[in-house]
């Protein structure tokens, strides 16, 4: 199918940048494309929090990459993990072997950063993949199930305390969505607990939430969150996370569910490239998005630091990745045609974040607004960017259904371990490992410690000042 005389373009990553590069190069004469991704699907990360909070199902926001690119005869798709690049030989090393290239596009995205505390991940999952989203869904829903059946009031309080670390858009969306399910969806489903009494604490190291937004809009968002029962702690750098909860300075919050939305770092492959990286590990790219000294290698999206002519480098956003993907592909086409490359310029259409039911904030140029109209704008933009007609239809139908009925259709507690799930009571199994540190596993003395911690926590939520903020890792959507 692919002419051996064609220029071979290898794309690593089928996210926003890689996929748009592949589409732009699709069916172009003189070019053969191979896209490699460690997953078989393109994931629409902006709606991941809706999977995590049971509003959508995983398949609603993910589409097989092979299916998306099937109309392009010159595009091959391979599933695999790319480990490193040999710039001398012009080949990549993947889990399945090596592959040569004439042009290489690296678009591997980003991972969570726990600021040197990777051990926190078990207790505070982040939100980057479907696995993490369904794990968060499991933890959140299971916490309510466990709270319903325990008679220990202190333990119940801990189960009904949710902490979200990081006040960027992802943290705000997660906190708002938990507020929403406790206020609306679950409010009449339980008999022993009142989900509306759930404590939701959004912890932010900086002086305010949503630092990328105008201060007035961020204030508006904070008021919206408070209406949903979210308590916001600013200037509160988390210093410890374990199975009992979190610590902020000397204060402890006993919480069964802690979610991480505080920091990201670029894909690990950056460390294997031997190119110039910025402080957060992104590859500093040239004006045409290529790597210095390697004009046939490009780095795009969350993996790249592009700062030419800008006050600060472009943030990790989907439109940045999409525009980079298209631009880079067009430059490759220009190369093949013997034309000069063009420098990349980002067209900034603005930023937005949703807070909850019928509430969002939008900032575009001089235009800043919040509330219902912002929420409708948010819905429209997300539907437009979602890949695949089927997914768009499904999401619209589910949003409409949820809006009218206040229900969420994907409230499933599922296990990742299919063999064990057949045999054991899920709640018991997970209570052992994650949720029920309040019974059985905890030593006698730690109950008192937890009591002390929840006392401190309630003191704190009533407005006591916290410890100063830790440093932020890099500009990202976080």
Ligand X SMILES: Cc1cc2nc3c(=O)[nH]c(=O)nc-3n(C[C@H](O)[C@H](O)[C@H](O)COP(=O)(O)OP(=O)(O)OC[C@H]3O[C@@H](n4cnc5c(N)ncnc54)[C@H](O)[C@@H]3O)c2cc1C
Q: Which residues are catalytic?
A: 173
Tokens 């974040």 belong to residue = 353
- From residue 158 to residue 187, what is the string marking binding to ligand X with x (rule CB under 6 A)? ------------x-----------------
CB nearer to ligand X: give 230 or 353.
353
Q: What's the rounded Cα separation, in Å, for the pair 173 and 166?
A: 11
What residues contact 446, with CB distance under 8 A and at least 6 apart?
244
Shortest CB 458 distance to ligand X, Å: 30
**Between the CA atoms of 312, 314, 317 and 321, what dihedral angle is there, to the nearest 10 degrees?**
-170
Among 11, 22, 31, 36, binds ligand X (CB under 6 A): 36
Q: Which stretch binds ligand X (CB under 6 A): 105-113, 160-168, 235-243, 400-408?
A: 105-113
CB nearer to ligand X: give 246 or 386.
386
CB nearer to ligand X: give 213 or 430.
213
Among 23, 28, 123, 128, binds ligand X (CB under 6 A): 128
Q: Which stretch binds ligand X (CB under 6 A): 38-46, 189-197, 239-247, 368-376?
A: 38-46
CB nearer to ligand X: give 63 or 450.
63
Find, among 260, 309, 312, 259, the residue nearest to 286 by Cα.
309
Tokens 């220029």 belong to residue = 7
Q: What's the rounded Cα separation, in Å, for the pair 170 and 112?
A: 12
CB nearer to ligand X: give 146 or 322.
322
Residue nearest to ligand X (CB): 15
CB nearer to ligand X: give 166 or 206.
166
Under the binding rule (CB under 6 A), the answer on residue 263 touching ligand X is no
C-alpha distances out from residue 44 to 101, 394, 425, Å = 28, 14, 33
Under the binding rule (CB under 6 A), the answer on residue 39 touching ligand X is yes
Tokens 């932020």 belong to residue = 472
Per CB under 6 A, which of residues 65..84 are in contact with ligand X? 81-82
Q: Which stretch binds ligand X (CB under 6 A): 43-51, 156-164, 227-235, 453-461?
A: 43-51
Under the binding rule (CB under 6 A), the answer on residue 46 touching ligand X is yes
Among 21, 28, 37, 165, binds ligand X (CB under 6 A): 37
CB nearer to ligand X: give 201 or 264.
264
Shortest CB 385 distance to ligand X, Å: 8
Going by the DSSP 8-state scheme, the letter that residue 340 receives in this structure is P
Under the binding rule (CB under 6 A), the answer on residue 127 touching ligand X is yes
Per the DSSP assignment, residues forming a β-bridge with 78 are 36
Helix (H) or strand (E) holding 149: helix 130-149
Angle between helices 372-385 and 389-405 (to 10 degrees): 150
Shortest CB 380 distance to ligand X, Å: 13
Shortest CB 17 distance to ligand X, Å: 3
Shortest CB 243 distance to ligand X, Å: 24
**Between the CA atoms of 469, 473, 474 and 478, what dihedral angle is there, to the nearest 10 degrees?**
-80
Among 13, 168, 206, 438, binds ligand X (CB under 6 A): 13
Under the binding rule (CB under 6 A), the answer on residue 11 touching ligand X is no
Classified as helix, coil or strand, 375 is helix
Q: What's the rounded Cα separation, in Å, for the pair 340 and 91?
A: 25
Q: What's the rounded Cα separation, in Å, for the pair 216 and 280?
A: 29
Q: Which stretch binds ligand X (CB under 6 A): 152-160, 191-199, 213-221, 296-304?
A: 296-304
Total number of residues binding ligand X (CB under 6 A)?
34
CB contact at 8 A, 165 and 203:
yes
Under the binding rule (CB under 6 A), the answer on residue 55 touching ligand X is no
Among 10, 11, 16, 120, binds ligand X (CB under 6 A): 16
- From residue 304 to residue 343, what is the string marking binding to ligand X with x (rule CB under 6 A)? ------------xxxx-x----------------------
Q: What's the rounded Cα separation, in Å, for the pair 211 and 369?
A: 16
Going by the DSSP 8-state scheme, the letter that residue 282 receives in this structure is P
Under the binding rule (CB under 6 A), the answer on residue 28 touching ligand X is no
Q: Helices in 215-308 by DSSP H: which ranges? A: 215-227
Q: What is the DSSP string of 382-449?
A: HHHHSSSHHHHHHHHHHHHHHHHH---TT-----S-HHHHHHS-HHHHHIIIII-TTTTSS-HHHHHH
C-alpha distances out from residue 150 to 137, 159, 255, 259, Å = 20, 10, 15, 23
Which parts of this chain interact with ligand X (CB under 6 A)?
12-18, 36-39, 45-46, 48-49, 81-82, 107-109, 127-128, 170, 267, 269, 301-303, 316-319, 321, 477
């Amino acid at each position: 199918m692919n002419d051996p005389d064609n220029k071979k373009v290898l794309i690593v990553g089928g996210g926003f940048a890689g996929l748009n590069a592949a589409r732009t190069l699709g069916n172009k004469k003189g070019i053969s494309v191979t896209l490699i991704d460690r997953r078989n699907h393109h994931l629409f990360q902006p709606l991941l929090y809706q999977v995590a909070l049971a509003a959508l199902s995983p398949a609603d926001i993910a589409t097989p990459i092979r299916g998306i690119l099937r109309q392009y005869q010159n595009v091959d798709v391979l599933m695999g993990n790319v480990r490193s690049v040999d710039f001398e030989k012009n080949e990549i090393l993947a889990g399945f072997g090596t592959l040569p290239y004439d042009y290489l596009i690296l678009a591997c995205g980003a991972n969570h950063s726990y600021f040197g505390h990777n051990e926190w991940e078990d207790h505070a999952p982040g939100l980057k993949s479907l696995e993490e989203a369904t794990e968060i869904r499991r933890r959140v829903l299971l916490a309510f199930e466990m709270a319903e059946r325990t008679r220990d009031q202190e333990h119940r309080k801990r189960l009904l305390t949710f902490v979200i670390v990081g006040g960027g858009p992802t943290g705000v969306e997660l906190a708002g969505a938990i507020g929403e399910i406790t206020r609306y969806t679950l409010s009449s489903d339980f008999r022993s607990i009142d989900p509306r009494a759930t404590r939701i604490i959004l912890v932010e190291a900086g002086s305010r939430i949503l630092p990328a937004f105008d201060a007035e809009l961020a204030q508006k968002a904070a008021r919206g969150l408070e209406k949903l029962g979210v308590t916001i702690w600013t200037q509160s750098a988390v210093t410890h996370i374990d199975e009992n909860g979190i610590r902020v300075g000397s204060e402890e919050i006993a919480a069964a569910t802690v979610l991480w939305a505080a920091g990201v770092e670029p894909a690990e492959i950056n460390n294997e490239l031997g190119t110039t990286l910025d402080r957060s590990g992104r590859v500093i790219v040239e004006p045409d998005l290529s790597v210095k000294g390697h004009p046939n290698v490009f780095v795009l999206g969350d993996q790249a630091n592009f700062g030419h002519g800008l006050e600060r480098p472009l943030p990790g956003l989907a439109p940045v990745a999409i525009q980079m993907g298209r631009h880079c592909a067009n430059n490759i086409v220009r190369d093949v045609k013997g034309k000069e490359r063009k420098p990349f310029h980002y067209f900034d259409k603005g930023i937005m974040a949703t807070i909850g039911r019928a509430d969002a904030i939008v900032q575009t140029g001089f235009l800043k607004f919040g509330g219902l109209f912002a929420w409708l704008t948010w819905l429209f933009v997300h539907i437009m960017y979602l890949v695949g007609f089927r997914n768009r239809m499904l999401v619209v139908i589910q949003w409409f259904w949820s809006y009218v009925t206040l229900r969420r259709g994907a409230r499933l507690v599922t296990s990742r371990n299919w063999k064990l799930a057949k045999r054991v009571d899920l709640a018991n199994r997970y209570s052992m490992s994650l949720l029920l540190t309040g019974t059985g596993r905890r030593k006698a003395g730690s109950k008192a410690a937890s009591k002390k911690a929840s006392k401190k926590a309630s003191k704190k939520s009533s407005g006591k000042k916290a410890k100063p903020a830790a440093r932020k890792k890099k500009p990202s959507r976080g």
